[in-house]
Amino acid sequence: MSKLAAFTAGYSVFEITLSRGYGDPEFRENLKALYSQLGAGKKTVFLFTDAHVVQESFLELINNMLTTGMVPALYEDEEKDQILNSIREECGKLGIYRKMNL
């Protein structure tokens, strides 16, 4: 039903694909891919079912996403700098450059 509702609303569905040895590092990489899609302005539904809970730590990360909108320590400092540099110019055009302390 969620996939049908997403299709009807014109949203894409982002769902992790489990594989042998899938763990926390792979889950974090999938979350980075999800945030990249969302940051690009793509309307996306994150489909996460009970079958995707391979480790209980996944639930903690999902809880952080739902309560604060972010996952602690998801990006390394170098990755954060790269992301900030990629949006710096657009933020300046919108006049929010100073607000973000870039």
Same domain, 91 and 59: no
Same domain, 40 and 62: yes
Mean pLDDT of the residues in the chain: 89
Q: Quick one: pLDDT at residue 98?
A: 57
Q: What are the contacts of 32-41 at 24+ separation with CB within 8 A?
A: 32/74, 32/75, 32/79, 35/74, 37/12, 39/83
Same domain, 64 and 28: yes
The residue segments making up the domain with residue 96 are 76-102
Same domain, 67 and 88: no
Q: Quick one: pLDDT at residue 31?
A: 94
Pairwise CA distance, residues 30 & 11, whole Å: 18
Confidence of residue 102 (pLDDT cuts 50, 70, 90): very low
Residue 99 has pLDDT above 90, yes or no: no
The residue-averaged pLDDT of 32-55 equals 92
Burial zone of 16 (CB within 10 Å; 0-12 exposed, 13-18 middle, 19+ buried): buried
Same domain, 53 and 100: no
- What pTM does this model have? 0.81
Residue 67 has pLDDT above 90, yes or no: yes
Tens digits of per-residue pLDDT, 80-95?
888 888 888 778 788 7
The residue-averaged pLDDT of 24-36 equals 94
